[in-house]
Structure 1
Amino acid sequence: MPTGLVALLDDISVIAKAAAASIDDVGVAAAKAGTKAAGVVIDDAAVTPSYVTEFTPDRELPIIWQIAKGSLKNKLLILLPAALLLSEFLPQAMTPLLMMGGLFLCYEGAEKVLEKLGGAKHGETLEDPIEDMATFEKERISGAVRTDFILSAEIMAISLAEVASEPLLSRGIILALVGIVITAAVYGVVALIVKMDDIGLHMVQERTSATAKAFGRGLLHAMPRLLTFLSVVGTLAMLWVGGHIMVDGAKKLGFKPPYEAIHAVEHVVHEATGALGGVLGWLTNSALSGVVGLILGTIVALALHKVPALFGKSAH
């Protein structure tokens, strides 16, 4: 009897260790998949604060919460099942679909660059007077969730490409974990960003210490700079990630010259810079991928906004 009990306990120990290892593998895979989606995440964090402009401070967090819930629904109820079905029954479509998403990122990033260089602005503006604030709020939330759907699709596609070799159940757990963690991180950061000025103003107006008042004023001054910085980083990240997806996808489809050229330059930089070779080589790869993204995105942007104009049609 003791022998049987010891054997049973030993079996349980082995199963527990295997389960723990499996959970650890899922965590590592989820982290790897989430890291690949960094460009989209940064842009999401940079874009979302604009959706709470024109609202009173007491409505900012509720609106962000509504957008975050919509984002989770996008990821877990729509995109996750679609991604799993596609990867299980039509895996050969993953690379072309991922490249389509990568091209969209290139286009978004290039369009922002063109606008900064003096090109016409495209999309909605906030200059029209607001007649019904409740309706305006619903429309703003709806628009944000629609935009999030595109960004979430990119996140899930990029993440799925990283875990395509995992079993179906593991794939589902990993993608769900990535979706939840990224949503919490993005909208948590967004909530902090949009409340920075309120926190700073509170610290300045309340009877706090001189140090606290100075810190509050620093927050007030930092807010616009932070949003500008996030916008720039988000644009660069989109071009880098989009360009990398396009180059890597082209290689998988048999067109290897761009991939080989970029990695050849990366190798030269890596070998020539000694201890900093790893970092500088990666930066070189990222920069060249970003250039590819900018070129492809500019071609798409010009095609979308110039060609229709030749026929007297609206690009929008």
Structure 2
Amino acid sequence: MSGLLALLDDVAAIAKVAATSIDDVAAAAAKAGSKTAGVIIDDAAVTPKYVQGFAPARELPIIWKIARGSFFNKLVILLPLALLLSNFAPWLVTPLLMLGGSYLCFEGAEKIFHVLFPHGDKHIEADMSVKDPGHLEEEKVKGAIKTDFILSAEIMTISLAAIEASNIYMEAATLALVGIMVTVAVYGSVALIVKMDDVGLHMAQNSGIGLLRGMGRGLVKFMPLLMKLLSIIGTAAMLWVGGSIMVHGLNDLGLPHPYKDIKTIAGDVAYLVSADMQGFVKWAVTAGIDGVLGLIYGLLLIPLATRVVGPLIGAVSGKKPAH
């Protein structure tokens, strides 16, 4: 009997440790996931464009295909690579973060440049030339998964950098949970966004209640505004996150400016407001300066990316660059 009680006591202790580990993984995943907010917003803002032009019945299947590709990117390819980096080449994490930050700055700056100086998009022109809807859907899904891979790599690398030093099992569990949570959040949100206009149209046409018909019409009119707002928020988030990554990366590599300068400016500005607002003001000033620096850096990258990197990749892959 005493042996059975001892065994039950051991089982209870193991269960307690397991529960604590689960709580630790969830807490670490929440903390790491919060660091990727800007990239997540951009991911959610970018994805709806891949279902534009398709019949409503194909929208959710396309999103599901992209989501499956995103799960594969994060859990099968990027998670093992992140663990290898963390345990065998941790010195590579900061340079890779900065490489991803450079991409975010370039993408954000290129979007603003396109608005200020409109120019043709060869990707769209190529899509217009495709007559087979099935082939076009396949190409769109492939393009979305490729874009997701870059954003997912940034998400996983940011998450890896945010995880406190522990063991490989804790890191693996945390990264896996972050990958699953982010993918569900992004593509669940995208599914809701792309179907909202259909919901509004159904309400406007079929509801027997005047108030609901009016709400449906309002929803249909609101969705284009929401898509524009998401695009603006996504661009701002890219520049903010990209600029912040570059500033922190330089500091980690032994170049304290402009990190210390931004911190000083944010502190000086926050000192001018009441104590309960200082935390928010520090964040807002820091994010604003990071975003401006990200925009400047991204604009400088545009000629490098379009005239050097793009043609080089095209020469290696045998494809003409898109720009």
State the TM-score, normalizing by the size of structure 1: 0.93
Offset at 1:167?
1.1
Find the aligned partners of 2:245 and 2:305 in 1 and give their Cα distance.
21
2:88 maps to which residue? 89
Q: Given that residues 106 and 242 in structure 1 are in contact (C-alpha distance below 8 angstroms), is that contact kept between their aligned partners in structure 2?
A: yes
1:45 maps to which residue? 44
Which blocks of at least 5 consecutive residues in structure 1 are unaligned? Answer: none
Find the aligned partners of 2:77 and 2:55 in 1 and give their Cα distance.
32
Find the aligned partners of 1:228 and 1:81 in 2 and give their Cα distance.
36
Find the aligned partners of 1:32 and 1:208 in 2 and give their Cα distance.
47
In the alignment, residue 304 of structure 2 is paired with which amino acid?
A: A
Are 1:300 and 2:301 matched, yes or no? yes
In the alignment, residue 177 of structure 2 is paired with which amino acid?
A: L
Q: Secondary structure at the match of 1:180?
A: helix
Offset at 1:6?
4.7
Deviations 1:186-235 (A, max 9, x none): 11111111111110000011032111111111110111011000000000
Offset at 1:17?
2.4
Offset at 1:5?
4.8
Find the aligned partners of 1:129 and 1:301 in 2 and give their Cα distance.
27
Deviations 1:240-279 (A, max 9, x none): 1111111111101000010000111111123221211111
2:316 maps to which residue? none
Alignment of 1:168-247 (within 5 A): 168-247=168-247
Q: Secondary structure at the match of 1:255?
A: coil
In the alignment, residue 205 of structure 1 is paired with which amino acid?
A: Q
Q: Judging changes above 3 Å, is the alpha-carbon distance between structure 1 residues 305 and 282 closer, same or farther for their aligned structure 2 residues?
A: same
Q: Given that residues 87 and 164 in structure 1 are in contact (C-alpha distance below 8 angstroms), is that contact kept between their aligned partners in structure 2?
A: no
Are 1:21 and 2:4 matched, yes or no? no
Q: Given that residues 52 and 63 in structure 1 are in contact (C-alpha distance below 8 angstroms), is that contact kept between their aligned partners in structure 2?
A: yes
1:128 maps to which residue? 128
1:32 maps to which residue? 31
Q: Secondary structure at the match of 2:128?
A: coil
Q: Given that residues 111 and 298 in structure 1 are in contact (C-alpha distance below 8 angstroms), is that contact kept between their aligned partners in structure 2?
A: yes
Find the aligned partners of 2:209 and 2:118 in 1 and give their Cα distance.
47
1:140 maps to which residue? 140
Alignment of 1:93-172 (within 5 A): 93-120=92-119, 122=121, 124-126=123-125, 128-163=128-163, 165-172=165-172
Deviations 1:42-98 (A, max 9, x none): 111111111111111111111111111011111111111111111111111111111
State the TM-score, normalizing by the size of structure 2: 0.91
1:283 maps to which residue? 284
Q: Judging changes above 3 Å, is the alpha-carbon distance between structure 1 residues 13 and 37 closer, same or farther for their aligned structure 2 residues?
A: same
Find the aligned partners of 1:294 and 1:87 in 2 and give their Cα distance.
30
Find the aligned partners of 1:226 and 1:207 in 2 and give their Cα distance.
23
Q: Given that residues 66 and 141 in structure 1 are in contact (C-alpha distance below 8 angstroms), is that contact kept between their aligned partners in structure 2?
A: yes
Question: Matched residue pairs, number?
Answer: 312
Find the aligned partners of 1:148 and 1:56 in 2 and give their Cα distance.
23
Find the aligned partners of 1:205 and 1:179 in 2 and give their Cα distance.
39
In the alignment, residue 209 of structure 1 is paired with which amino acid?
A: I
Identity %: 53
Over 6 Å off, 4+ runs: none
Find the aligned partners of 1:148 and 1:74 in 2 and give their Cα distance.
8
Find the aligned partners of 1:122 and 1:247 in 2 and give their Cα distance.
31
Q: Given that residues 51 and 62 in structure 2 are in contact (C-alpha distance below 8 angstroms), is that contact kept between their aligned partners in structure 1?
A: yes
Q: Given that residues 73 and 152 in structure 2 are in contact (C-alpha distance below 8 angstroms), is that contact kept between their aligned partners in structure 1?
A: yes
Find the aligned partners of 1:24 and 1:108 in 2 and give their Cα distance.
36
Offset at 1:136?
1.0
Q: Given that residues 270 and 281 in structure 1 are in contact (C-alpha distance below 8 angstroms), is that contact kept between their aligned partners in structure 2?
A: yes
Q: Judging changes above 3 Å, is the alpha-carbon distance between structure 1 residues 121 and 171 closer, same or farther for their aligned structure 2 residues?
A: farther
Find the aligned partners of 1:252 and 1:106 in 2 and give their Cα distance.
19
Which blocks of at least 5 consecutive residues in structure 2 are unaligned? Answer: 311-319
In the alignment, residue 96 of structure 2 is paired with which amino acid?
A: L
Q: Given that residues 306 and 315 in structure 1 are in contact (C-alpha distance below 8 angstroms), is that contact kept between their aligned partners in structure 2?
A: no
Q: Given that residues 115 and 121 in structure 1 are in contact (C-alpha distance below 8 angstroms), is that contact kept between their aligned partners in structure 2?
A: no
Find the aligned partners of 2:180 and 2:11 in 1 and give their Cα distance.
31
